[in-house]
Amino acid sequence: VLRDEPNDKLGDDAHALAAKLWPINRSLTGEGVRKTLEILKGILPELTVHAVPTGYKAFDWDVPQEWRVQEAYVETPDGKVICDWKTNNLHLVGYSTAVDANVTRAELETNLHSLPAQPTAIPYVTSYYAENWGFCLPDEHRSELVNGTYRVCIDAEHFDGELNYADLVIPGESSEEIVFSTYVCHPSMANNELSGPVVATALAGEISQMKHRKFSYRFIFVPETIGSLVYLSKNLQHLKHNTRAGFVLTCVGDENGFSYMPSRNGGTLADRCALKALRDNAPDFQTYSYRQRGSDERQYCSPGIDLPFCSVMKSKYGCFPEYHTSLDDLSFVTPKGLGDSIAMHLKIIAMLEKNGTPKSRTMGEPQLGKRGLYSNLSYKGSAVDHSLIMDILGYADGTRDLIQLAEFLDADFTRVAEIADLLVRHDLIEIS
Amino acid sequence: VLRDEPNDKLGDDAHALAAKLWPINRSLTGEGVRKTLEILKGILPELTVHAVPTGYKAFDWDVPQEWRVQEAYVETPDGKVICDWKTNNLHLVGYSTAVDANVTRAELETNLHSLPAQPTAIPYVTSYYAENWGFCLPDEHRSELVNGTYRVCIDAEHFDGELNYADLVIPGESSEEIVFSTYVCHPSMANNELSGPVVATALAGEISQMKHRKFSYRFIFVPETIGSLVYLSKNLQHLKHNTRAGFVLTCVGDENGFSYMPSRNGGTLADRCALKALRDNAPDFQTYSYRQRGSDERQYCSPGIDLPFCSVMKSKYGCFPEYHTSLDDLSFVTPKGLGDSIAMHLKIIAMLEKNGTPKSRTMGEPQLGKRGLYSNLSYKGSAVDHSLIMDILGYADGTRDLIQLAEFLDADFTRVAEIADLLVRHDLIEIS
Amino acid sequence: VLRDEPNDKLGDDAHALAAKLWPINRSLTGEGVRKTLEILKGILPELTVHAVPTGYKAFDWDVPQEWRVQEAYVETPDGKVICDWKTNNLHLVGYSTAVDANVTRAELETNLHSLPAQPTAIPYVTSYYAENWGFCLPDEHRSELVNGTYRVCIDAEHFDGELNYADLVIPGESSEEIVFSTYVCHPSMANNELSGPVVATALAGEISQMKHRKFSYRFIFVPETIGSLVYLSKNLQHLKHNTRAGFVLTCVGDENGFSYMPSRNGGTLADRCALKALRDNAPDFQTYSYRQRGSDERQYCSPGIDLPFCSVMKSKYGCFPEYHTSLDDLSFVTPKGLGDSIAMHLKIIAMLEKNGTPKSRTMGEPQLGKRGLYSNLSYKGSAVDHSLIMDILGYADGTRDLIQLAEFLDADFTRVAEIADLLVRHDLIEIS
């Protein structure tokens, strides 16, 4: 039986895992991704780590070189070390080239990034596809820089290596799969993106403990964009054939309200489950358009790929002030925030497992009285609404699945599914 | 030619028939139903009365035993007879078991039913599917009961017998049928339900006098629920094959506004006719959802049965204060109320007979001038709107029937049908 | 390359042509139509003039006799000549029979037409299908008529002759045709109707200069109603087989806002182009219902004909006060008004030529950076919105043509088509 309520223990564990992953310097490729996947494999032993070499062609893209950093900092004219990568890996522009030089303050400034509107935040900047170097720092520190000669040191190298990713399949009764995808390429930020991998880990743990699984469950941990493209290039036919519903896990850790990003044209089973779970459990959620997309649904839902993926997030990427700064930290992402997302996705999983299309097994209304279903009826300790029983029977014509029926009857899915179970046990309906 | 206007004579006759049927103690089974059907057969000689035995299985239901009452009353401690079934058959809980006992006031109270909010009304209570006995009385009388010993007498018996119902088919040009179903199991109440049988009787009389009938017409008189299930169990294949439109006749006698109950998914020919007739002739009617169903559409529209039945009522069952009490009497149901319902259903019948899909027989606009149709055109004494003629011609493309066309043109169906007749006579359109 | 902006030269030429055609006494048949077509053929040498004889049967209609007028006037009791047809051909009721008589003022009045609400205007009156004669004059002159004997002279004759019309096909790569139809039967009025023929002439000139035409273009010049029916009777199978989009050109010369008249059921390619061009370029246009039709779409869109014709007008016929009076003159119709309509129809033509259904040629998002499309992108001198590029790629799934995509993305068609061109050149999409 799946849990129905937010689970503090799950949120606590997820937050602790995020704290463990926090300091690792992740990038599209390299040691950071490998260390991250190794830690996850410690929790999910069935996780398989894969690699493709630098230069591997994934559709229109090429896997870039690995990037290895030993140290990176700036020394001020008075000998103080600032922007030290070892204290916060956001200080270094991602994928920076090596530098060892003395520069004037003016020369330095052309390679600095800060946010005047958020003077305490270190911004997150990368330059994956153009050669460049730079440092990021709080604007309040940048404004204190004095004229003079600065020493700039970036001990980094780019070299042919590999791109790593991992997946895990938890088998069920059917080979049809529910897929969760998340990404492991962001350095020290919490909502975007440690929340995705830790929630994915929690869900995989829960699912593996389910006594019965109608579906198989696939978890994908990849670097964003290039990683999902590599994954699709390796697994497209399998995914197209087997995927019943997919979800991108991103930005699932803060305590703001839920957000929903549909698949390209909406209306897939994934979308319907996400919307019904949100309507039932967090009706004030925010709906976005696919035109506002920005995560790996850009690949999963692209023309030709056409997989049924949507996203259920807390604060959507790009829509919260902490986004892509050092303020997106482990105080912004909380055990409660993570726990809420875990619980919401467990609701979705339960819905997928329970869903089906009911069809009446009688002609005309059945006689509920002789089955003790007519009145004073209670089930699982709570009174069950007689009119809801009658409506589930009355509309069980094989044209609406339980999600559609619950939407149509403006009723909680859990309630509808419980009654449907009861009616199946009394042989009044069948569910296909 | 069908009547266009409410017909006082029809309403008067229907009300007189209701008065004749009023005192009979109807129940699901027994002498009351038989007497009622016998009286109806006196007016509609072609009516055929049928029977199935106690225990007959209709889908999920079993026909109950017959119930016969000789007398039933309560004697107060001071020797006064109250709740005398012979004065009003609502005093006795329907299908009560026999009792002959002295009881305390407290014991009596557990078997009494009254309505504190309607202190002058005797409520209508039955206990068909659980063994029980009881009396119903106005709350203002109940509150006057004194302590002491009461004599309770119910001289009743339950025994294997039969369930009776009747039908009538008035043949037309086609074997396709328009079906009206109503019920004959309620004791002395007028809107729910003597109005249905008497309006059905009036409609059957009118239809049998029509010179030309495109459709055949079937009238069904059954006890509610169990009776319609029995009827369906005997006639399902025929009904599924032949029914073009069906209507449950219930609550059609009061002077409040009209109500509409759709079929399960709406949109059938029956629904479209009902809605157009109501929009044209009683545009302030009330629309209900199938979720608010409560009469024999529960059987006719159930999954697997799937017949195209809807209802055009005056005050819907359950939605008027007199419902299921002694206040639902022959002053609440009036000749005018019955006449309005008869007239509305005759409008629907006329619509069904006249409907068809017009298709132009010319290419381009026809030249109306040479046919005297262009201007100063009048038909049946009233000027016919030239633009309506042009629009009926202009949209006569075989994709909309006259009902849809009248809806689309926001025009009265009768007007559209008259013009369509005129255009057929001039060989400008054909109707299929 | 088609012009994008209103072209003063085109509007000037069109207005000059209208001035040349102005004084000709056009009617359904006769010398006026022939002279008009001859002048048009002087500009469009490929124009072919056709004739059918009096009595020719076009579907439900017969071609009427020709009408020839030598002179027509009224002489007042004091010898003054009024209503002289030679000064304004609207003075004579169209298709009037011959008269040479002295009449009283009262007799004369029964044959006069004027507009009390527009006292300076001569109304346009015809009597094509009933034998009659009459004169039209400003109401302010009519009210000055004195009692006495009036001489009425109409030197006119009706005789078997022919009905004339013309067409022109400008061939393109495909035999599929875009059709423009306009009418040449109205005497001296400017918007309804010299604007249609002169705008058609301008469009034919522009189209014939296009270097590349995907479609063939057909221009039809006919008398209204009877002429389009004759044309359809001669060319129906060809038109039904080849027409991709059609437009009636009428009332396209004044300076009021644009109007749109849909095809019978709307939604054709013609309708979609017209609506998108109007939304992009004149978003405050007025939409009418097909029920308000009144020009040759009555024939082209009639059941059985079913051609995809709509109209993009300035002030719709019947909806401007100058309509069908001498006030509809060459000051009401202006070079700017005509130029706006020419430009709008050139937008529609460009849209038809550019339209197609884009489909992605990559799997997943393409890497725009390596193609220099990612940022700082400019095209034709203006910055192109990156998100519009991404959305055109992201929705290029073969289900929406460029018009639908531009509507969906709430973007200007021209912009979307430019970006689609760019993406085709980079082999990122294909358009079919």
Q: Inspect the interface and report whether the beta carbons of C391 and A303 lie closer than 8 Å.
A: no
| pLDDT beyond 70 at A71 | yes
| pLDDT beyond 70 at B258 | yes
The arithmetic mean of pLDDT across residues C84-105, rounded, is 96
Residues in A closer than 8 angstroms to B293, CB to CB, are 394
- Write out pLDDT tens, residues B10-33: 899 999 999 999 999 999 999 999
| pLDDT beyond 60 at A381 | no
Q: Which of A30, A27, A26 is nearest to A162 (CA)?
A: A30
- Report the first-to-last Cα separation within chain A, whole angstroms: 21
Segments in A179-324 forming alpha helices (H) = 195-208, 226-242, 269-281, 297-300
Residue B395's SS3 state is: coil
- Write out pLDDT tens, residues A253-265: 999 999 999 999 9
Asked if residues C326 and C140 have their Cβ atoms less than 8 Å apart, the reply is: no
Residues in B closer than 8 angstroms to A391, CB to CB, are 291
- Cα separation of B312 and B291, whole Å? 16
Q: Is B363 on the interface with C (CB under 8 A)?
A: yes
Asked if residues A200 and A44 have their Cβ atoms less than 8 Å apart, the reply is: no
| Mean predicted lDDT score pLDDT of chain B | 94
Cβ neighbours of B288 (radius 10 Å): 17
For residues A389 and B129, which has the higher predicted lDDT (pLDDT)?
A389
| pLDDT beyond 90 at C387 | no
Residues in C closer than 8 angstroms to A59, CB to CB, are 362-364
CA closest to A370 among chain B residues: B129
Q: Give the gap in angstroms from C-alpha A239 to the nearest C-alpha of chain B.
A: 36
Whole-number pLDDT of residue B130 = 80
Q: Inspect the interface and report whether the beta carbons of C394 and A225 lie closer than 8 Å.
A: no
- Cα separation of B239 and B232, whole Å? 8
Alpha-carbon distances, residue B334 vs A146, B345, B426 (angstroms): 99, 17, 44
Task: Supply A103's token pair.
Answer: 């520069």
Q: Is C364 on the interface with A (CB under 8 A)?
A: yes
- Cα separation of A166 and A41, whole Å? 9
Cβ neighbours for A230, distance < 8 A, ≥ 6 positions apart: A52, A56, A58, A63, A163, A165, A222
- Write out pLDDT tens, residues A27-50: 999 999 999 999 999 999 999 999
Which residue has tokens 């262009």?
B374
| pLDDT beyond 70 at B381 | no
Helix B335-354 to helix B269-281 angle (10° resolution) is 120
Q: Is A391 on the interface with B (CB under 8 A)?
A: yes
Whole-number pLDDT of residue A376 = 38
Q: Inspect the interface and report whether the beta carbons of B395 and C228 lie closer than 8 Å.
A: no
- Write out pLDDT tens, residues C280-292: 999 999 999 999 9
Out of B363, B397, B398, whose CB is closest to C59? B363
- Cα separation of A28 and A277, whole Å? 33
Say if residue B383 is exposed, middle or buried (CB neighbours under 10 Å; 0-12, 13-18, 19+). Answer: exposed
Cβ neighbours of B345 (radius 10 Å): 24
- Cα separation of B226 and B65, whole Å? 12
- Write out pLDDT tens, residues B155-197: 999 999 999 999 999 999 999 999 999 999 999 999 999 999 9
Residues in C closer than 8 angstroms to A306, CB to CB, are 397
Q: Inspect the interface and report whether the beta carbons of C60 and B360 lie closer than 8 Å.
A: no
Residues in C closer than 8 angstroms to A304, CB to CB, are 360, 362-364, 397
Q: Is B427 on the interface with C (CB under 8 A)?
A: no
pLDDT band at C371 (very low <50, low <70, confident <90, very high): confident
pLDDT band at C7 (very low <50, low <70, confident <90, very high): low
Q: Inspect the interface and report whether the beta carbons of C394 and A298 lie closer than 8 Å.
A: yes
Q: Give the gap in angstroms from C-alpha C374 to the nearest C-alpha of chain A.
A: 11
CA closest to B427 among chain C residues: C60
Q: Inspect the interface and report whether the beta carbons of B59 and A362 lie closer than 8 Å.
A: yes
Q: Is B59 on the interface with A (CB under 8 A)?
A: yes
The arithmetic mean of pLDDT across residues C303-314, rounded, is 98
CA closest to C265 among chain B residues: B395
Segments in C82-146 forming alpha helices (H) = 105-109, 139-142
Whole-number pLDDT of residue B317 = 95
Residues in B closer than 8 angstroms to A365, CB to CB, are 60, 225, 298-299, 302
- Cα separation of A259 and B426, whole Å? 63
Q: What percent of chain A has pLDDT over 90?
A: 92
Q: What percent of chain A has pLDDT over 70?
A: 96
- Write out pLDDT tens, residues B340-362: 999 999 999 999 999 999 999 99
| pLDDT beyond 90 at A346 | yes
Best of C57, C291, C307 to disrupt the B interface by mutation (most B CBs within 10 Å)? C291
- Write out pLDDT tens, residues B390-412: 999 999 999 999 999 999 999 99
Out of C232, C290, C291, whose CB is closest to B363? C232
| pLDDT beyond 90 at A130 | no
Q: Is A291 on the interface with C (CB under 8 A)?
A: yes
- Cα separation of B124 and B174, whole Å? 42
| pLDDT beyond 80 at A51 | yes
Whole-number pLDDT of residue B372 = 80
Best of B363, B373, B404, B427 to disrupt the C interface by mutation (most C CBs within 10 Å)? B363
Segments in A116-165 forming alpha helices (H) = 139-142
Q: Inspect the interface and report whether the beta carbons of A306 and C397 lie closer than 8 Å.
A: yes
Residue C72's SS3 state is: strand
Q: Give the gap in angstroms from C-alpha A364 to the nearest C-alpha of chain B.
A: 5
| pLDDT beyond 50 at B380 | no
Q: Inspect the interface and report whether the beta carbons of C264 and B387 lie closer than 8 Å.
A: no
| pLDDT beyond 70 at A377 | no
Q: Is C363 on the interface with B (CB under 8 A)?
A: no
Residue type present at position C184: V
Whole-number pLDDT of residue C128 = 84
- Cα separation of A142 and A122, whole Å? 11
Size of interface B-C (CB pairs under 8 A): 56
Best of B357, B367, B391 to disrupt the C interface by mutation (most C CBs within 10 Å)? B367
Whole-number pLDDT of residue B6 = 52
pLDDT band at A363 (very low <50, low <70, confident <90, very high): very high
Size of interface A-B (CB pairs under 8 A): 56
Q: Inspect the interface and report whether the beta carbons of B299 and A365 lie closer than 8 Å.
A: yes
| pLDDT beyond 60 at B384 | no
Residue A51's SS3 state is: strand
Best of C361, C362, C365 to disrupt the A interface by mutation (most A CBs within 10 Å)? C365
pLDDT band at A1 (very low <50, low <70, confident <90, very high): very low
Whole-number pLDDT of residue C8 = 73
CA closest to B300 among chain A residues: A364
Out of C360, C369, C370, whose CB is closest to A303? C360
Burial B86-121 (b: 16+ CB within 10 A, else e): eebbbbbbbbbeebeeebeeeebeebbbbbeebeeb
Q: What percent of chain B has pLDDT over 70?
A: 96
Which residue has tokens 């809806």?
B407
CA closest to B229 among chain A residues: A364
Residues in A closer than 8 angstroms to B229, CB to CB, are 364
Residue type present at position A145: L
Q: Is C263 on the interface with B (CB under 8 A)?
A: no
Out of C363, C398, C409, whose CB is closest to A59? C363
Q: Is C307 on the interface with B (CB under 8 A)?
A: no
Phi, psi (deg, nearest 5) at residue C289: -95, 150
Residues in B closer than 8 angstroms to A370, CB to CB, are 129
- Write out pLDDT tens, residues A158-173: 999 999 999 999 999 9
- Write out pLDDT tens, residues A299-322: 999 999 999 999 999 999 999 999
The arithmetic mean of pLDDT across residues B280-302, rounded, is 97
Residues in C closer than 8 angstroms to A302, CB to CB, are 360, 363-365, 394
- Those chains having 3 or more beta-carbon pairs within 8 angstroms of chain B are A, C
Q: Inspect the interface and report whether the beta carbons of C395 and A303 lie closer than 8 Å.
A: yes
Q: Give the gap in angstroms from C-alpha A363 to the nearest C-alpha of chain B.
A: 6
Q: Which of B204, B212, B184, B173 is nearest to B346 (CA)?
A: B204
Cβ neighbours for A87, distance < 8 A, ≥ 6 positions apart: none
pLDDT band at A383 (very low <50, low <70, confident <90, very high): very low
DSSP secondary structure letters along B57-81: EETTEEPPPEEEEEEEEEE-TTS-E
Q: What percent of chain C has pLDDT over 90?
A: 92
Q: Give the gap in angstroms from C-alpha B378 to the nearest C-alpha of chain C.
A: 19
Out of B59, B129, B305, whose CB is closest to A369? B129
| pLDDT beyond 70 at C377 | no
Residues in B closer than 8 angstroms to C264, CB to CB, are 394-395, 397
Task: Supply C112's token pair.
Answer: 């006069």
How many residues does this entry show for chain A? 432
Q: Is A393 on the interface with C (CB under 8 A)?
A: no
